[in-house]
Amino acid sequence: MNTLQAGDNAPRFSLPDQNNEMVSLADFINKKRVLVYFYPKAMTPGCTVQAQGLRDSKAQLEQLNTVVFGISPDEVKRLDKFCLRDELNFSLLSDVDHNVADQFGVWGLKKFMGREYDGIHRLSFLIGLDGKVEKVFNKFKTKNHHDVVLAAIAELT
């Protein structure tokens, strides 16, 4: 796993969102900062808490000219259910083949309860107006992820 670092160019991805509409990072370059957060599976407890925190922080993120995209290997149909169930106000993107996760360096070996498997590591990337990674978030708890992100963006602004 070779995770992107601050200063690296962010991969120019296009993925389907919960409505099966294509979302492209290129559409936001020179317009908004983009928070791309990778999470393992929609509607699981940790992923739900993380998404709800970002949902509830939308106004502050907008004031900081930042848009949010959550990326997981879930199918579009599951993402739609997650958005509806939790009234999420940002796009969730489906990376079923984990191609984008590979490009960001967040797909790799995981261990849970003595079992090893490949999956998404919970990391977030703040992409600046220039399309470069401004900050990598790799130390946070799902319940305070939004606070860590907001503090970092405010510091960079």
pLDDT for 67-77, tens place per residue? 999 999 999 99
Q: What are the residues whose beta carbons fall under 8 Å from the beta carbon of 157, sequence distance 6 or more?
A: 64
Q: Is position 83 annotated as part of the catalytic site?
A: no
- pLDDT at residue 157, rounded to an integer: 81
Query: For residue 79, what are the CA distances in angstroms to 7, 125, 143, 154?
Result: 30, 20, 20, 29
Whether 90 contacts 58, CB under 8 Å: yes
Which one is catalytic: 23, 47, 68, 153? Answer: 47
- pLDDT at residue 84, rounded to an integer: 97
Percent of the chain's residues with pLDDT above 70: 99
pTM for the structure as a whole: 0.95
Q: Which strand (E) or helix (H) includes residue 111?
A: strand 107-112
Better-predicted residue by pLDDT, 112 or 39: 39
- pLDDT at residue 1, rounded to an integer: 67
Question: Long-range contacts: 77-83, Cβ < 8 Å, 24+?
Answer: 78/42, 78/43, 79/17, 79/18, 79/42, 80/18, 80/19, 81/42, 81/43, 82/18, 82/42, 82/43, 82/48, 82/51, 83/18
- Summarize the confidence of residues 42-65 as an average pLDDT: 96
Closest to 131 measured CA to CA, from 26, 39, 17, 24: 26
Average pLDDT along the chain: 96
- Summarize the confidence of residues 40-64 as an average pLDDT: 96
pLDDT for 101-156, tens place per residue? 999 999 998 887 888 989 999 999 999 999 999 999 999 999 999 999 999 999 99
